[in-house]
Structure 1
Amino acid sequence: MSRWDGKTKGSLLGYKIFLFFVKVLGLGFAYKLLKLVTYYYYIFAAKPKNALLEFYKDTLHITGKPALALVRKNFYIFGQTLLDRAAFLLGKESAFTHTFENEQYLLDIRNGGKGGMLLSAHLGNWETAGNLLKGRITPTINIVMLDAEVESIKKFMDLSTGGSRFKVIPIKNDLSHIISIRNALVNNEFVAIHADRYMEGSKFIELDFMGKRARFPYGPFIIASKFTAPVTFVFAAKDGEHSYHLSATAPITQKMKPEEIAGLYVKELEKKVRQYPEQWFNYFNFFQE
C-alpha cells in the first residue's frame, strides 16, 4: 500500500467548480453537491477507501457495514472541511460557530511572551483552526509545512479567496525554515506544525500508536525541544454541520527530549482518533508491516 508523498490531491477544475458554488449559491448547496462527489470517490477511489477500511478494521476493530458507512462519512466530512476553508476565506465566517476547550492555555502562552509551538495532525480542519485562532488568540499564526501543493491550485485559491489568513513557513532543504521559526517565536507568534506524517527518506521516530508500531516525523519534535517556547497539542474537529470543537493541552514549559514530547503527543492523538474516527484524514498505510 502506498505511503504519503507530501502532495495535496485534487484537480484545478474541481476547486473552481466548488468555489463558484460557494460564492454564488452558498455553502448549503455546495454541501449537497458534495454528497454526489464524495459518493463517486467512495465507489471508485480504491486506495484511500481500502486504507481507511484497513485502519478501521485492524486498529479500531470496526468492520462490515459500520466500517463502510464510516468511510463514506469520512470522505464527506473531508470534503466539507475543504468547502469550509474556502467559505471562511470568502468572508463567510459568520456561518460558523465553535467552542474552544482549554482556550486559556493559549492565552497564557501568548501572555508569556515567548511565542508558542502548536503540534497538530491531519485530523479535523487544521486550516480553519488557524484562521479561527488568528485575531482571537494572536495576530499571527505561522504554519510550517511542505510546500508541495499543486502550484496551479495554490495560485487559484490565493487569487479567488485572498489566500490563508496565516503565514506559511515552507520546509527547505537548507534549513532556513528554522531561522523563520526562531524569528516568529522571538516576535511572540504561534508556530503550528503537523507531527503525524513523515515522508520516505526523512528522519522518523517509531512509537506505539493505537496498539501498533508507527513512524512519525522526527523533525517537529526536535524543533519543539530546541526552543524555549511552550509546546501544546491542538486539534480542531468538526462537531456539527457548521461548527467546530477546538482543543489545546496543558503547555509543556520544561525542557524535554524530542522522544518525550513525541510520546505525549501520540497519547493525545490516540484520544482524538478514537473520539473522531470519521475525521482521520490519512489515506495511506500508516503502520509498518
Structure 2
Amino acid sequence: MSRWDGKTRGSLAGYKIFLFFINSLGIDFAYRLLRIVTGYYFLMAAKPRNALLDFYQNGLQIPSIKAKLLARKNFYVFGQTLVDRAAFLLGKNEKFVHTFENEQYLLDIRDAGKGGILLSAHLGNWETAGNLLKGRVASAINIVMLDAEVESIKQYMDLSTGGSHFKVIAIKDDLSHIISIRNALLGNEFIAIHCDRYLDGAKYIELDFLGKKAKFPYGPFVIASKFEAPVTFVFAAKNGKYSYHLSATLPITEKLKPEVIAKLYVAELEKKVRQYPEQWFNYFNFFN
C-alpha cells in the first residue's frame, strides 16, 4: 500500500460481533478477544504490517526486533481504541477516565466566540476525544473527513449505538464543506481536521518529518490560514487500560501562511509520535 486510498476497512460481521460482546460480556472480554483477532491480522496483513515496520525502522530508527514487537502492540492498541469507541457510543464508558493537558486553551477559544480549528492526526483516538469534548468545552464538535466508511457498517453503528456525539462534515468535490465549516465557526463551534493523510491527485505539501521527506494534505492548512478562528493542535492518546491523555497547544491567533502552520503542526506531531509510537495508525508507506 503505497498511499492511503481513502477507505476505512472492516467487515459488518466484525462490528456486529464486537458490539455483541461489549454489550453482553463487557469491555474486558472484548479486549481479551482482541488478542486473538489482532494477532491474526498481524500475521496475515502483510502490507500494513510492513508499512508500519518501515515507519518504525526508517522513521523512528527503532531496531528490527523491537520494531516488530512494537508493530504487534500497535495492532492490539488500535483494536482497543475501536472497542473504546463503541463502548462510549453504547454508554458503557463509566470505567474510563481522562486528563486534559492545557484544557484551558480550548476554553479560551470558546470564550473568544469565533469558533476554533483543531488540527490532529490518526494517532491515538480522536473520535473518543470528540465524545469527551462535546458539551465540555464547546457546544458542538465537527470532524471534517472523507465519508468513506462502508455504508452498511456506518448504518449498523448508528442503529446500534445512536451514532457519534459529534457532527461529521464530509469533504465534497463541489467544496460545499467549506460553507459548512464557515457556518460552524460562525456558530462558535469547533472544527477538527486530521492533517496526516492525503489522496493521490490532491494538493499536498512536502515537509521534513522524522528526518525524512513526507507529504501532508495542503487543504487543512489552507482552511486554518483563511478562516479568522484560533488554531490549535489537539491529540488524544490512550495512556492506560481505561484512560486517555488529551492535549492542546497554545492557540495560533494571528494570520499565518498555510506553510508556516504546517511546519508547526509537523513539529508537534513528531513529539507525539515519539511519545506514543504504538499509536501511529497510518498503515501505508508514509515516506516518499
Alignment of 1:179-218 (within 5 A): 179-218=179-218
* Match in the other structure for 1:139: 139
* Match in the other structure for 2:91: 91
Alignment of 1:226-241 (within 5 A): 226-241=226-241
- For residue 10 of structure 2, give the secondary structure of its aligned residue in structure 1: coil
- Partners of 1:60 and 1:117 lie apart in 2 by 29
Q: What displacement does 1:3 show?
A: 1.0
Q: What displacement does 1:93 show?
A: 1.8
Q: What displacement does 1:2 show?
A: 2.4
| Equivalent residue letter for 2:146 | L
* Match in the other structure for 2:17: 17
Runs of 4+ with >4 A deviation = none
* Match in the other structure for 1:36: 36
Matched, 1:55 2:55: yes
Q: What displacement does 1:64 show?
A: 2.7
- Partners of 2:254 and 2:61 lie apart in 1 by 37
- For residue 135 of structure 1, give the secondary structure of its aligned residue in structure 2: coil
Q: What displacement does 1:206 show?
A: 0.5
Provide the identity percentage.
Answer: 76
Between the two proteins, the alignment pairs up a number of residues equal to 288
- Partners of 1:184 and 1:44 lie apart in 2 by 42
Tell me, which stretches of 5 or more residues in structure 1 are unaligned? Answer: none
* Match in the other structure for 2:152: 152
- Partners of 1:102 and 1:19 lie apart in 2 by 33
| Equivalent residue letter for 1:123 | L
Q: What displacement does 1:65 show?
A: 2.1
C-alpha distance after superposition, 1:124-168 (max 9, x if no partner): 001000000001111200000001110000000000000100000
Tell me, which stretches of 5 or more residues in structure 2 are unaligned? Answer: none
- Partners of 1:117 and 1:67 lie apart in 2 by 34
Q: What displacement does 1:214 show?
A: 0.5
- Partners of 1:139 and 1:35 lie apart in 2 by 38
Matched, 1:125 2:108: no
- Partners of 1:205 and 1:64 lie apart in 2 by 30
Matched, 1:104 2:115: no
Matched, 1:27 2:27: yes
C-alpha distance after superposition, 1:10-69 (max 9, x if no partner): 111000000000000000000000110000011111011101111111111112321111
- Partners of 1:221 and 1:29 lie apart in 2 by 41
- For residue 134 of structure 2, give the secondary structure of its aligned residue in structure 1: helix
- Partners of 2:194 and 2:159 lie apart in 1 by 25
* Match in the other structure for 1:164: 164
Please report the TM-score for the alignment, with normalisation by the length of structure 2: 0.99
- Partners of 2:169 and 2:189 lie apart in 1 by 13
* Match in the other structure for 1:250: 250
- For residue 215 of structure 1, give the secondary structure of its aligned residue in structure 2: strand
| Equivalent residue letter for 1:193 | I
- Partners of 1:23 and 1:225 lie apart in 2 by 43
